[in-house]
Structure 1
Amino acid sequence: MSKIVTLGEIMLRLSTENNNRFIQSNTFRADYGGGEANVAVSLANFGIESEYVTKLPNNPLSDSIFRYLKANGVETKNIVLGGERLGTYYLEVGTSVRASSVIYDRKYSSFSTLNYNELQIESILKDCKILHLSGITPALSENCKELTIKIMEKAKEMGVLISFDFNYRGKLWTLDEASPVLTSYLPYIDICFAGILDAKNIMKLGDHSDLNEYYKEITKKYPNIKYLLSTKRETHSVNENSLTGFIFKEGELIASPRYTFQIVDRVGGGDAFAAGALFGIYNNHSPKDIVDFATAASVYKHTVRGDANLVSKDEIYNIINNGISTVSR
C-alpha cells in the first residue's frame, strides 16, 4: 500500500484559556501541532497510511509527541533525534471583535538544524505516493531551505507527487525574502495550495479580477501543477466564519458549497483542508468530490480544540450529505 509522507516542524502550543489575554493568564492549555503534523494526523484518521518526518530533541517532551502521533496512527520511524529544543508557540485565543494572536519561540529549534543527510531518504520515499511540504519549513533556517529543495529533487527522481502549501507566515520572513525561495519550488510541485494573495504577493503575477484568472496564469507558466486549491474565508466575527473551497483542474475552477459555522478553534483549519484534498487525490476522486470533502473537513476542524482534525471520514461525509446539524441521533 502506498503512503503519504509529510515533513515539517511540530511544536508545543500553549494557549490561553477562557479567552483570556496573555497579560491575564497564569495557566495555558498545552497541545502539539504544526502544519505538516496536522496533515499527517488527519490523513491517518481518514484511513490513509501516513508517515511524519521531523527532528526532535531527545527529551521527555519528544516522548510525549511520539505517543501523540502513534495514538493517531501516524508512522514515526524516520523521525530524527537531536538538537537542543522543541519549537514553541503561544496562542492568545480571541473572541468577538478581538482576533487571536500568536507569539513564536522556535529559533534554534531542533527541526531548524535538520540536514538532508540526516534523513534515510530512500526509506522515507519508498512506496510513497505523495510528499507534502509547506512554505513554513524554508522560512525557519538556511538548512531548511536547502532541505526543502533537495527532498523535492529526490521525490521527483523517485516519481513521487509533491504537494506544497504556500502557508506564508509574515512573522517568520518578509515577502521579499519568501518570494524568490517559494517560486523556485514551483517547477517541482504537482499539488499546490495557494490563494490570490500568494499569486499576487509571492508569485508576482499580474493583477487579475478573480481566482480563476490567477490559476489559469499559474498553470500556463507551470504546467507541471496538476491541482490548485484554496479557500475563501468570510469573517463575520472571531467566533463565526463562512468558508468556501476551490479547486482548479484541467482549466476548470470548481467551488464547494459555502458553509457558515461557529468556531471553537480556528488553528489548523487550512491543514484540515489540505489533508481532505490529499485524501481525495490519493483515492483518485473527481475534482468536485475532492473540494467538497476538503472544505467539509476544514469546517469540521473549526469545532475541534487543538491543532489537528480528530475526525473520521464518515463524519466528514455526514456533513457533505446532511449538512451541519445540531444533534446526531
Structure 2
Amino acid sequence: MAEAPTSVLTFGEALLKLVLLPTQRLESMQTLDAQCAGAELNVAAALAALGRPAAWVSALPAGPLGTWVRERVRALKVDDLALTREGRLGTFYLEDHHPPRPSRVVYDRRGSAFTQLNAADFDPAWLAGRRALHVSGISLAVGQGPRDLALKLMWEARQAGVVISFDVNHRRLLLAEDAARELYTPALRLADLIFVAERDTPLLGGLTGLRSLASGAWIVQTRGMRGSAALTPDGQTYQQPIIAARGPGRVGRGDAFAGGFLHAFLQGKAPPAALAFATAAAALKTTTPGDQLQATEAEVWAVLQDGQASEPIR
C-alpha cells in the first residue's frame, strides 16, 4: 500500500515587517529592519524546516516587492503557489519591547494584493496530494474575498478527506472582540485541529462553547507562561509546561508551536509527545531572529532529551 501524502498546504497573507531598534519608537524612528512575515507562511516554513513538504497559497503584487517575498519563500524551501494580483504588499511596523514597556504594532495593509482574492480563485490542484490544510483567523478577518476563499478551501479539503488545521490567531487590530465568534464559527465547524490562545478562548464561549462548535476536533490551547494543553475529542486533557528559552525571536513562536504540533500530529504521535514537540519547537524559535523557525526535527527532539513531557489529567 502506498504511503499517505505528507505535504501540507497553508493559506494566508505575507507581509513586509519593518522592525525598529529596541531603543526607538515610531515617533522617533531612524532605522528599520525589513523582514518577511505572515503567520501561515511561518507555519509552512516550520514544517519545511522539520522535513515535511509544505506549500503556501496567497497573492502577491507584481514587481520587486512581490519578487522579494517569492525569493524568501523559495529560501525557506516552501512551495510557492501565490497568485499575482493588483494591489500592494501589506506592511506592518513593530516595536518589540520588553516589560514593563509593551510592544506595539501598527498595520498598513489596506488595498493589499491578498485582499483581492475571492472564492473564484480556488484551484482544485492546490489540494492534490495534500495531507493537511492550515488556515488562520487572520485570513478570515482581513476581508470578505479572502474569507470566502479560506472557507472554500476548508470545505473542499473536508470533501477530499484532508486534515484541516485552524489557528484562531485573533488580531484585535483587525476584528472587534464581539464579532469574533460569528466570524470564526464556520471555520471552527470544519476544523479537525484547532489552535487557540487562552486569552482568546472567552471570545468563543470558553472551552465549553468552543467544544460545542467543534465536537469532533482536537483543541490545543496555549496558556502563556502556564504552558499549553491538548483536549482530545474523547474528553481527555493533557498539559505541557513551557520550556524556558531566551533570544531575539519571540515573534513567531506561536506559529512554530502550531507547525511543530501539526507535524507530530500527522506523524501519529500521542498527545503528550505532540505537545512536548510543539513546545520545544517554540523554544528553539525564541533563540533565533526573524519570524520563521530555524531548527530540524532532530534538534527539536534533542531539546526533549531531559524527559520533559505532558501527562493526562484524570
Q: TM-score, normalised by structure 2?
A: 0.91
CA deviation profile, 1:238-267 (whole Å, cap 9, x unmatched): xxxxx5121112311112233233341311
Q: 1:47 and 2:30 equivalent? A: no
Letter in 1 for 2:84: L
Q: Any unmatched runs of 5+ in structure 2?
A: 309-314
Contact 2:22/2:95 (8 A) holds in 1 = no
Letter in 2 for 1:21: R
Partner Cα separation in structure 2 for residue 109 and residue 118 of structure 1? 16
Partner Cα separation in structure 2 for residue 107 and residue 228 of structure 1? 32
Contact 2:121/2:149 (8 A) holds in 1 = no
Contact 1:116/1:147 (8 A) holds in 2 = yes
CA deviation profile, 1:156-182 (whole Å, cap 9, x unmatched): 111111100001111001022222010
Identical aligned pairs, as a percentage?
30
Letter in 2 for 1:114: L
Partner Cα separation in structure 1 for residue 18 and residue 213 of structure 2? 41
Q: 1:204 and 2:208 equivalent? A: no
- Of 73, 83, 86 in structure 2, the residue corresponding to residue 83 of structure 1 is 86
Partner Cα separation in structure 2 for residue 41 and residue 168 of structure 1? 21
- Of 14, 20, 24 in structure 2, the residue corresponding to residue 20 of structure 1 is 24
Match of 1:267 in 2: 251
Give the C-alpha shift of residue 48 in structure 1.
0.2
Match of 1:174 in 2: 176
Q: TM-score, normalised by structure 1?
A: 0.87
Match of 1:244 in 2: 227
Letter in 2 for 1:309: L
Contact 1:266/1:302 (8 A) holds in 2 = yes
Contact 1:188/1:224 (8 A) holds in 2 = no
Q: 1:60 to 1:323 in 2, by over 3 A?
A: farther
CA deviation profile, 1:193-219 (whole Å, cap 9, x unmatched): 024433322x224xxxxxxxx26x643
Query: Secondary structure of 1:99's partner?
Result: coil
Partner Cα separation in structure 2 for residue 196 and residue 272 of structure 1? 17
Match of 1:133 in 2: 135
Match of 1:209 in 2: none
Q: 1:232 and 2:236 equivalent? A: no
Q: 1:96 to 1:127 in 2, by over 3 A?
A: same
Give the C-alpha shift of residue 30 in structure 1.
0.6
Query: Secondary structure of 2:98's partner?
Result: coil
Give the C-alpha shift of residue 317 in structure 1.
1.2
Query: Secondary structure of 1:262's partner?
Result: coil
- Of 119, 122, 125 in structure 2, the residue corresponding to residue 123 of structure 1 is 125
Partner Cα separation in structure 1 for residue 97 and residue 259 of structure 2? 25
Partner Cα separation in structure 1 for residue 186 and residue 213 of structure 2? 13
Letter in 1 for 2:19: S
Q: How many residues align?
A: 303
Letter in 1 for 2:47: L
Letter in 1 for 2:138: I
Match of 1:222 in 2: 214
Q: 1:95 to 1:150 in 2, by over 3 A?
A: same
Instruction: Report the RMSD for the aligned CA atoms in angstroms.
Output: 1.8
Partner Cα separation in structure 1 for residue 86 and residue 221 of structure 2? 35
- Of 93, 96, 102 in structure 1, the residue corresponding to residue 96 of structure 2 is 93
Give the C-alpha shift of residue 69 in structure 1.
1.1
Letter in 2 for 1:308: Q
